[in-house]
Structure 1
Amino acid sequence: MKVIAYGASTSSTSINKALATYAAKQIDGAEVTVLDINSYSVPMFTEDKEKEIGHAEGAQAFLNDIAQADALVISFAEHNGHYPAAYKNLFDWATRIDRNVFKDIPAVYLATSPGPGGAKSVLAAATGSAPFFGGNVKDSVSIPAFYDNFNVEKGEVTNPEIAAQIKAAVAKLSA
């Protein structure tokens, strides 16, 4: 099974990328590719810019990479209750090329934050809108207090209950 994982964040130290990577590696026998959102350069989306350049090459590359997956593990960063602007911009460009961005590929959606909310607002938005963009969300998990529950140096969840939730969620990708 080829799994594409990414954190919907452009931070070089993204906790959501770390979480998505960890979760994807919990899938037995999976070939995991971790995407870096920074690899997909796109200008700020406007209709005028779209008329000028057509489709943004970075958005097409993003779509091409997603299309290679048998399963997706995405962890959404939250900025003031919403998607980070850079991810939302890339996503907007991608939907202009193909509204069915996620191609009905089985997915697990995650979100985390350093605080107690666990980025639940953005996770709810992502999960709720997924069907409009070809999203096939098998499960979603919010992880509060990231640094209390994850060892960054080892790249692993330290809370057994949360580790079990993630393992159960990604197991649904093979079902």
Structure 2
Amino acid sequence: MEGSYSQSRVREFIHDYHSYLISDHLMSEEDSRTRTDISWKYPEILPFSQPNLLSFVLSHCSARLRWKMALTNCGRVCVTHNRRRLRQRQVKLVRAIHRLRESSHRVLHEAKLHYFVKQLRVIRRVLRALHIALHQSEALAEDSVNSLLHTYVFEDYIRE
């Protein structure tokens, strides 16, 4: 192509021209970040065992699925323990964020600061869900609490 046509303009033309066809097949690179179906091949050099397989699956699944699997069999003791661990992590993150914000080299650590802030948001959301689940477990049966975690309470965490 000549220099007067950019790739995005060509893609736009193709997309508009073929809009009556199946448009899902004409996705550009800009749309690829929203895709979720990714294929992963199990490494051939890794022995096929239950711990390796579980580790491989967990490392390649979404955060939503990991949390659902973790909280499926989580009883009252587990919820209490996880809340304690998350609160400790929350305190450490708040300290690190304050240190970075007050640092004279803040510009150099901007990416790390954003990462810590994002982690803190996730921890706060999960703590909220665990708090609700713990208080609901006092009034409901354990199965009801698990189903509560997997429905509307947990959706707040998933949305971001």
The two structures have a TM-score, normalised by structure 2, of 0.30
Higher strand share: 1
Higher helix share: 2
Give the number of the structure whose alpha-carbon radius of gyration is greater: 2
The two structures have a TM-score, normalised by structure 1, of 0.28
